[in-house]
Amino acid sequence: MGKLYVVPTPVGNLEDITARALRILKEASFVLAEDTRTSGNLFKHFGIETKLISYHKFNEHQVVDNLTQRIAAGETVALVSDAGTPAISDPGYLLVKSCIDNGIDVECLPGATAFVPALVNSGLPNDKFCFEGFLPHKKGRQTAIQQLATETHTMIIYESPFRLVKTLQQLAEVMGNDRRASVSREISKIHEETVRGTLAELVDHFTECPPKGEIVMIVEGLNRKLKSKANDDDEDEENN
């Protein structure tokens, strides 16, 4: 029986890849890639000649069974996304689950991911946090934001640069203009930047300076004392 390796790749600086990741990618029977063109550039840079096969959100349901069978038959397969760790807001979960359900060994290598440096750089509490990934674009979006308004842990949200200002505005409308947050973009790349402030301040900044690149938002959780007071006020109203 073969094995599935989940291999993180750099989110920006190519030096962030590990020696072990390079070895696995070179030794694998083949590599599943979210975009073979993007991974092809990475492979060319490091002299990796392993065959690349497309595996993305549009075909994963169709190919997962066949891939599972091939791994079960003895092939060693590596899974990569365009950047970062596969299955974190990228394809990968279905194949990992299928392999586990079929008794196939799965190993995820430690490595690059965008939200950890963004969280640490934010200066917001990071002892406890929740990862939200991308918010719904349309259906369920307002419900999701309303639910996050009472979240007491620091929140991690991925966003497109084209929707960033709108999302900051929507968060401010529900959470209040003074809720602290940070926006990190282009992590580990030449133009890496982290901007910190209140939601209102971030709206003003990115309205004046439209962002480019990959975006990670870090939003302060609701102060536990304020949440407790709000719950007490609700109970008082009910009792009256």
What distance in Å separates the CA atoms of residue 2 and residue 100, rounded to the nearest whole number? Answer: 12
What distance in Å separates the CA atoms of residue 185 and residue 193, rounded to the nearest whole number? Answer: 6
Give a three-class secondary structure readout of 84-120: ECCCCCCCCHHHHHHHHHCCCEEEECCCCCCHHHHHH
Contact by Cβ (8 Å): 117, 184: yes
| Tens of pLDDT, residue by residue, the chain (240 residues) | 999 999 999 999 999 999 999 999 999 999 999 999 999 999 999 999 999 999 999 999 999 999 999 999 999 999 999 999 999 999 999 999 999 999 999 999 999 999 999 999 999 999 999 999 999 988 899 999 999 999 999 999 999 999 999 999 999 999 999 999 999 999 999 999 999 999 999 999 999 999 999 999 999 999 865 555 555 555 555 555
The per-residue pLDDT for 235 is 56
pTM beyond cutoff 0.95: no
Contact by Cβ (8 Å): 19, 46: no
Question: Which residue from 146, 220, 141 is spatially nearest to 183, judged by alpha carbons?
Answer: 220
Question: Which residue from 201, 219, 207 is spatially nearest to 118, judged by alpha carbons?
Answer: 219
DSSP state at residue 9: B
The pair of structure tokens assigned to 97 is 């689950």
